[in-house]
Amino acid sequence: MKQKKDLTATQVEKSAEQWKSVHPNKAKQLKKTIENLAASERVKKDAIFTARLRQDDFDNFKKIAEEKRIPYQTLLGYVIHGYANGTLVDVSEIEKVFKKKLKAG
């Protein structure tokens, strides 16, 4: 089940200042360009795996995904991708480094 990301009224109002009117043909062309870019950036996902998790961890993960308004499988993919590529940040480790630097400095 895919969920659409909904903008809040405030977000729409803020972004409305940047909106510009365009000719319908130009709008179609822009939409097609955006769709082509999105399609070219999609990565084929063909690996399937099964994991055993504690039920409460799984429930919490699904809750986080729901709050972010994305499917939990997508969020799980982001987490695994970030960890595998070294871009997932452990906030507690960063806090430790900053605390050590503040004490030293």
- Amino acid residing at 5: K
* Domain ranges (residues) in the chain: 49-105
Read off the pLDDT of residues 11-42 as tens digits, 9 standing for 90 and up.
777 777 777 777 888 888 888 888 777 776 66
pLDDT of 2? 54
Read off the pLDDT of residues 39-55 as tens digits, 9 standing for 90 and up.
766 666 677 889 999 99
CB neighbour burial string for 74-102, b if at least 16 within 10 angstroms, e if fewer? ebbeeeeeeeeeeeeeeeeeeeeeeeeee
The model's confidence at residue 82, banded by pLDDT at 50, 70 and 90, is: confident
Does residue 7 have a pLDDT over 70?
no
| Number of residues assigned to the chain | 105
The model's confidence at residue 3, banded by pLDDT at 50, 70 and 90, is: low
CB neighbour burial string for 23-36, b if at least 16 within 10 angstroms, e if fewer? eeeeeeeeeeeeee
